[in-house]
Amino acid sequence: MIVMKFGGTSVQDATAINQVAEIVKSKIKLSPVVVVSAMSKVTDALLRIAQTAHDRDYEETKRIIRELCERHVQTARELLAQANAPNAPTKLQEVEQEIHQYFADLDNLARSVATLGELTPRSKDAIVSFGERLSSLIIAATFQAQGINAELVDARDFLITDNHFTCAAPRMDATEARTRTTLLPILNAGRVAVAQGFIGATLEGVTTTIGRGGSDYSAAIIGAALNATAIEIWTDVDGLLTCDPRVVPEARRIRVISFAEAAELSFFGAKVLHPSTVLPAVEKKIPVQIFNTKNPASEGTLILAEAPPSRNLIKAIAFKRGVTVVNVNSTRMLLAHGFLRGIFDVFAKHQTSVDVVTTSEVSVSMTLDSTDRLAAIKRDLSAIGEVNSENEKAIVCVVGDNLKFTPGVAARLFQAISNFNIHMISQGASEINLTFVVENRDVEKVVRQLHQEFFAEVDSTVFE
């Protein structure tokens, strides 16, 4: 069997969903489990509903709910009114009723947030979960109307997580067992299972989500639990590219890349793949493939345990904007044991993760991607040393197996961008990435100059 995950833009409207149905039909012999995201921008809109309800701006809450409801009903009508299956009209009625029921539930939730004046992470998750629940409802009905023997499954029945609402961690043992008992009978009966990405539930059955962009991760978890032969991530670009095409339009498609390289890229900002996705796949050595829903003929990108050698020094460039750097200076204590631990305990306490770390004789610098707890972190760190922070920074990361073996890469890299101010520099412990920090305002120019330097010519066995 295979897992096929379709992202937000791949299910953004009726045309896109029809395209998804065609792609699934073409793979039906491989016994697909289909994992879907919310329709594009819906998760953001649901988060706005949560926020406006909390702010007691109920007019705005109602307006967004109405808009979302219309979009889903309209999409269902376009898909099911046109499907020429004899039972399509009844199906449409049922689906419309369910959509209205979902929006009534959502409205109730938003009202209770407004009444209580309190928005907990738990209620946030309950609210955002509607995005995937709605899209999967419409998609499963479309499949059925088009003659695909499909069954809608609630991911909360098998994706079991802890209770860290908004970024819950899957409990792998329970999830694996339940995924098998829930999905295998459906597959064994020759049916296509359709499930939501991104959402799960605690053991007690309370709805959770596994972090923004988490549907990729859901797909990988399901693939690992079922020992899938492949995990396919269907998105809106031809595959993993040498850089984000929105910044470097001439970015090239990477034909094949290693798990380790893909993990570094996604960790440092290549949004095309959720950073946790490759972990379950690596453990079971299941290949991950990235494909373009709008261009299914493209071969995409294959992510494998080992990638073939490439004549290019690097595979890709990733970047992350809006990063804050925190510096801790202490002349006395840096070399004392327990000093770094003290610093990291502060970050652990505030549940904030650090991406890049550099140290000198008298200081430690760290980048954070969330500044939600910055003030409290700085307060706690000031007990350890002198603390300051700088925002408006960006991380740039170049990745490639060849960085391990090739002398002179750093010299060539920094020469190519010698007109910019570089802050922290770190050669990742994995030895396949080189990461540094620049000003936010420079990041696009830096990335384009690097792309020009390293990808003006490409090895056609690895890149297209």
Instruction: Give the binding site for ligand ASP (CB under 6 A).
Output: 7-8, 37-38, 43, 131, 197-198, 212-215
User: First vs last Cα of the chain: how many Å apart?
Assistant: 29
Closest residue by beta carbon to ligand ADP: 7
Contact 266, 275 (CB under 8 A): yes
240 binds, among Mg ion, ligand ADP, ligand ASP, none (CB under 5 to 8 A by kind): ligand ADP
Q: Which residue has the tokens 């991104």?
A: 198
214 binds, among Mg ion, ligand ASP, ligand ADP, none (CB under 5 to 8 A by kind): ligand ASP
142 binds, among ligand ADP, Mg ion, ligand ASP, none (CB under 5 to 8 A by kind): none
**x/- map, 5-44, Mg ion, by CB under 5 A:** --x-------------------------------------
From 4-12, 298-306, 313-321, 330-338, span contacting Mg ion (CB under 5 A): 4-12
| 400 is a contact residue toward Mg ion (CB under 5 A) | no
The sheet carrying 256-258 orders its strands as 150-153, 192-196, 32-36, 2-6, 230-235, 288-292, 301-304, 256-258
Find the shortest distance in angstroms from Cβ 211 to ligand ASP: 8
Task: Pick the closer one to ligand ASP by CB: 38 or 278.
Answer: 38
Contact 181, 59 (CB under 8 A): no
Residue 188 makes CB contacts below 8 A (sequence gap 6+) with none
Dihedral of the CA atoms 378, 380, 382, 388 (nearest 10)?
-10
246 binds, among ligand ASP, ligand ADP, Mg ion, none (CB under 5 to 8 A by kind): ligand ADP
Task: Pick the closer one to ligand ASP by CB: 142 or 235.
Answer: 235
C-beta atoms surrounding 421 within 10 Å: 10
* Residue of 213, 275, 300, 400 interacting with Mg ion (CB under 5 A): 213
Angle at CA of residue 346, ends 161 and 270, nearest 5°? 55
What is the rounded distance in angstroms from the CA atom of residue 18 to the CA atom of residue 440? 40
171 binds, among Mg ion, ligand ASP, ligand ADP, none (CB under 5 to 8 A by kind): none
200 binds, among Mg ion, ligand ADP, ligand ASP, none (CB under 5 to 8 A by kind): none
Task: Pick the closer one to ligand ASP by CB: 267 or 455.
Answer: 267
What is the rounded distance in angstroms from the CA atom of residue 238 to the CA atom of residue 292? 5
Tokens of 125: 């998750």
Q: Which residues bind ligand ADP (CB under 6 A)?
A: 7-10, 37, 213, 235-237, 240-241, 243-246, 270-272, 316
Tokens of 258: 């290693």
Point out which residues bind Mg ion (CB under 5 A).
7, 213
